Amino acid sequence: MPLRQQIFAILISIIIFIVIIELVRKRKLREEFSLIWLLTGFLLFILAIWYDLLLAITSLIGASLATSTLFFFGLVFLILINLYYSIKLSAIANQMKNLAQEVGILKAEKEEKKNIKEKWGRGEEEERIKN
Amino acid sequence: MKNNLLIVIPAYNEEKTIGSVIKGIRNVAQTSDIIVINDGSSDRTESAAKDAGAFVVNLPFNLGYGAALQTGFKYAIRHGYKYAIQMDGDGQHSPSSLMSLIKEVEKNNTDVVIGSRFLGGNSYNAPALRKIGMKIFSIITNFITGQKFTDPTSGYRAMNDSILRFYSNDIYPVDYPDADVIIMLHQAGFRIMEIPVDMNPSLTGKSMHSGLKPIYYLFKMMLSIFVTLLREPISFTTSPHRGEGKGEG
């Protein structure tokens, strides 16, 4: 791999690292999600400094060019990340549904209690007036 | 005396029909408790239902038909109701069949009873495409359960509290709970029954199946049935017919 390419790849992976750490530090990204991104940066770094590994993988999967190996795995990675988000979204949608149901029921119950109380309160008032 | 029976009506923008539906129920079941789940309606569904004398739960935003129904089931469990009936707020389900539905469950002949629009010489005129869809799901449901269902997509059903507990679980589908739920119930070992119910032809409101939704519906139902079959026979059944395993669902 030409030196310039290598420097570029190393730079990119370092930037990814810094951005992620910074996001976690500012609590904008939960540790849970940061792991997957840190791993991505790490993998990029490894491939950048260890070009033979990329060549080995390329011949292993039968690709003709090292770049197609990168693109292929990049795509697979993005699909997996999306799938992961879909799973997360499903879980969150379910939790949100349960919360919304709970809120609806609790609100209605509270209002009902208030109505009963008001009725009772008024009743007592009337009784007091009568007496 | 506290009521045993809760009538659950999910409603999404039904201000025109909900009032008459509730009044119709009151005519046949004067003392029964009625709960309307207002599923984030943008019209006056809430006040129409309240004016007619129903207890209204407002969901903070639109959750979908199944989730709205489930809210009613959860409420029923919280307040210790023994039986519940689900019916639609568009006036399609005639309250005259309420008593015959609940009777079967009360007699403990079955855990859940489905009101069929086709049984007993009833003629229900659905659009041709929907009729085909209904037929397909009825064939699939019959094949899997080995029981004859003429109307597995009917949303007019009565159930006892073990079904209510089962329905309060996260497995209950949030959209279009019909044929797949029957298969789920069958897998869990519940007893299911179908009886004829009357329909109000004059009051056929808008359908929830419009636009691209039928295609999604078809796909969702096929997938849902398929994965239900792939799952282990659901272990958290609360059916009394499988011992006394009445755990919290």
pLDDT digits (tens, 9 = 90+) for B92-140: 888 888 999 999 999 988 999 999 988 876 666 667 777 788 888 889 9
pLDDT of amino acid A30? 82
B78 contacts on A by Cβ (under 8 Å): 105
ipTM attached to this prediction: 0.82
List of long-range contacts for A16-19, beta carbons under 8 Å, 24+ apart: A16/A40, A16/A41, A16/A44, A17/A41, A17/A42, A17/A45
Give the confidence band of B202 by pLDDT, cuts at 50, 70, 90: very low
Window from A59-73, B78-92, B185-199, B220-234 with minimum mean pLDDT: B220-234
The single residue listed with the structure tokens 């539905």 is B101
Question: Which are the contacts of B218, defined by CB distance < 8 A and separation ≥ 6?
Answer: B133
Neighbours of B124 (CB within 10 A): 17
Contact B151, B118 (CB under 8 A): yes
pLDDT averaged over chain B? 84
Min CA distance, B113 vs chain A (Å)?
25
Q: Which of B61, B67, B75 sits opposite A105 (nearest CB)?
A: B75
Give the confidence band of A74 by pLDDT, cuts at 50, 70, 90: confident
| DSSP 8-state secondary structure symbol assigned to residue B231 | S
Residue B171 clears pLDDT 80, i.e. is over it: yes
Minimal-distance CA residue of chain B relative to A106: B57
Give the confidence band of B209 by pLDDT, cuts at 50, 70, 90: low
Give the confidence band of A127 by pLDDT, cuts at 50, 70, 90: low
Residue B193 clears pLDDT 70, i.e. is over it: yes
Min CA distance, A113 vs chain B (Å)?
12
> Which whole number is the average pLDDT over A109-122?
84
* Residue B27 tokens, joined: 């005519």
B63 contacts on A by Cβ (under 8 Å): 97, 100-101
- CA A48 to mean position of chain CA atoms: 27
Window from A72-86, B58-72, B230-244 with minimum mean pLDDT: B230-244
Rg (alpha carbons) of chain A, rounded to whole number? 30
Contact B86, B160 (CB under 8 A): no
Residue B208 clears pLDDT 60, i.e. is over it: no
A114 contacts on B by Cβ (under 8 Å): none
| Cα–Cα distance measured from residue B238 to residue B249, given in angstroms and rounded to the nearest whole number | 8
pLDDT averaged over chain A? 86
Biggest alpha carbon–alpha carbon distance for chain B: 48
Minimal-distance CA residue of chain B relative to A105: B57
Helices (H) and strands (E) in chain B, counts: 8, 7
First-residue to last-residue Cα distance in chain A = 100
Containing H/E element for B79?
none
Neighbours of B199 (CB within 10 A): 22
CA distance readout (Å), B29 to B9, B69, B77, B93, B242 = 15, 20, 21, 15, 33
pLDDT digits (tens, 9 = 90+) for B141-150: 999 999 999 8
Residue A131 clears pLDDT 80, i.e. is over it: no
Interface of B with A (CB under 8 A): 37, 55-61, 63, 67, 70-71, 74-75, 78, 170, 174
pLDDT of amino acid B134? 81
Q: Is A114 on the interface with B (CB under 8 A)?
A: no
pLDDT of amino acid B121? 65
Q: Are B56 and A108 in contact (CB < 8 Å)?
A: yes
Q: Are A100 and B61 in contact (CB < 8 Å)?
A: yes
Q: Are B78 and A105 in contact (CB < 8 Å)?
A: yes
* Phi, psi (degrees; rounded to nearest 5) at A65: -125, 145
Q: Are A101 and B170 in contact (CB < 8 Å)?
A: no
Containing H/E element for A38?
helix A31-49
pLDDT of amino acid B84? 95
Q: Which of B57, B170, B174 sits opposite A104 (nearest CB)?
A: B57
Give the confidence band of B65 by pLDDT, cuts at 50, 70, 90: very high
Nearest Cα neighbor of B153 from B169, B174, B137, B172 is B137
| Cα–Cα distance measured from residue A34 to residue A38, given in angstroms and rounded to the nearest whole number | 6
Contact B150, B192 (CB under 8 A): no
Residue B248 clears pLDDT 90, i.e. is over it: no
**Burial class of residue B42 (count of CB atoms within 10 Å of its CB; 0-12, 13-18, 19+):** exposed
A contact test, residue of B71, B174, B220, B224 with most A CBs within 10 A: B71
B57 contacts on A by Cβ (under 8 Å): 104-105, 107-108
Window from A47-51, B113-117, B155-159 with minimum mean pLDDT: A47-51
| Cα–Cα distance measured from residue B4 to residue B1, given in angstroms and rounded to the nearest whole number | 9
B174 contacts on A by Cβ (under 8 Å): 97
pLDDT of amino acid B29? 84
pLDDT of amino acid B243? 40
- Please tell me whether residue B35 adopts helix, strand or coil conformation: strand
Q: Which residue has the higher pLDDT, A84 or B120?
A: A84
pLDDT of amino acid B83? 94
pTM higher than the cut 0.95: no
| Cα–Cα distance measured from residue A125 to residue A129, given in angstroms and rounded to the nearest whole number | 6
* Residue B193 tokens, joined: 């029954």
pLDDT of amino acid A130? 61
